[in-house]
Amino acid sequence: MPEETTLVLIKPHDVYRRQITPILSLLDTDNLRITGIKMIRPSLQMVEDHYQEHAGKDYFPWLCEQLDDQPVVAIAISGKNAVKRIRGIVGPTKPEDNSSYTIRGKFSDDTFEASRREKRAVRNVVHAVSSLEDAERELKIWFRAEELLT
């Protein structure tokens, strides 16, 4: 199986909660390696490009609002079957569906129900891509080619 590179974003809520180091320690493991990392305050255009598949949905503004001009840690991670393996480490999107062995299970302090009630995006700690095609598209949004190690 060829090596692939995937993207993980540590979202602002957990940057502010000082969870960067514990999250990184769970990602940099098991023959996966960090090949790019930076902290950035993305523009609204960058965030809209990132979440383009959700454009037009009622929660799209909430997704954009949570990342727009807020500190985000963007991480490129490479290894065999990296997309699937990182999704397993991160866990399901809904924080309440996670075991304590996943990043979202360990660090999330939110639920989908609370986010909908408060009309905001769920604070589920990190974003992780769900397919190799998404990884290729999203990595180009967050990293220039020269910022990634090969």
Phi, psi for residue 72 in degrees, rounded to 5? -130, 135
- What Cα–Cα distance (Å) separates residue 76 from each residue in 57, 63, 67, 68, 138? 28, 21, 18, 20, 10
Nearest to 133 by CA among 30, 4, 25: 4
Of residues 13, 50, 54, 127, which has the active-site annotation? 127
Q: Is 127 a catalytic residue?
A: yes
Q: Which residues contact 20 (CB under 8 A, 6 or more apart)?
A: 10, 14, 73
The residues facing 9 across adjacent strands are 74, 127
Can you tell me the distance from the alpha carbon of 77 to that of 89, in angstroms, rounded to the nearest whole number? 12
- List the catalytic residues: 127
